Amino acid sequence: MTTRHKMLLGGVELLRERGAAGVTVDAILARTATPRGSVYHHFPGGRGQIISESLDLAGDAIAAIIDDSLADGPVAGLRRFAAFWTQILQTSDFKAGCPVIAVAVGGAPDDELAHKVATIIERWQASLRASLVAAGVSEQRAVPLATMAMASIEGAVILCRTTRTITPLNDVVDELTAMLAIVVPQRG
């Protein structure tokens, strides 16, 4: 792993735990045990560049997880996506959540990051919409369903961190699964 990539992963971890406000040059250096000169060498734009590129890395990684999860349809996809969050929450002792949502909730430090967050979330929802449509749900119905599912799961991750239990995520996935069993046409 290159020093640059190590620093970006450190940025993602800090975003997950502390939001954009917690991503400082000193925090990156402490998290990654890299020398101060590495920041200026790899990220001439400083803190802002690290946050932006860490957000890109996290958004792309989670998009890939969503896409892979949805390969067997929306219900299986939601369950796999929830399993991903369960692992993150439990292995971090409920200290880490979604780095993208952390930037959104914490207030993106600038308009460019706010736009980037919106684009990432739209990409995630588009994947879920496409999976719903592929499963036989109309495009018109898939739009609000994808929004509700994404908002529910991301909200549940926040509740899990707050309550320090996986119960909110399990509850949301169970309810979404029950709802999708009604909405998604049965193939047979």
pLDDT in tens, 33-51: 999 999 889 999 999 999 9
Q: What pLDDT score was predicted for residue 108?
A: 63
Q: What pLDDT score was predicted for residue 181?
A: 87
Domain that holds residue 135: 53-183
Say if 65 falls within a structural domain.
Answer: yes
**Alpha-carbon span 91 to 89, nearest angstrom:** 6
Query: Cα dihedral sign for 71, 186, 128, 168?
Result: negative
pTM, rounded to two decimals: 0.90
Say if 12 falls within a structural domain.
Answer: no
Say if 9 falls within a structural domain.
Answer: no
**Alpha-carbon span 51 to 48, nearest angstrom:** 5
**Alpha-carbon span 188 to 64, nearest angstrom:** 29
Say if 18 falls within a structural domain.
Answer: no
**Alpha-carbon span 125 to 144, nearest angstrom:** 10
Say if 4 falls within a structural domain.
Answer: no
Residue 98 φ/ψ, nearest 5 degrees? -80, 120
Say if 15 falls within a structural domain.
Answer: no
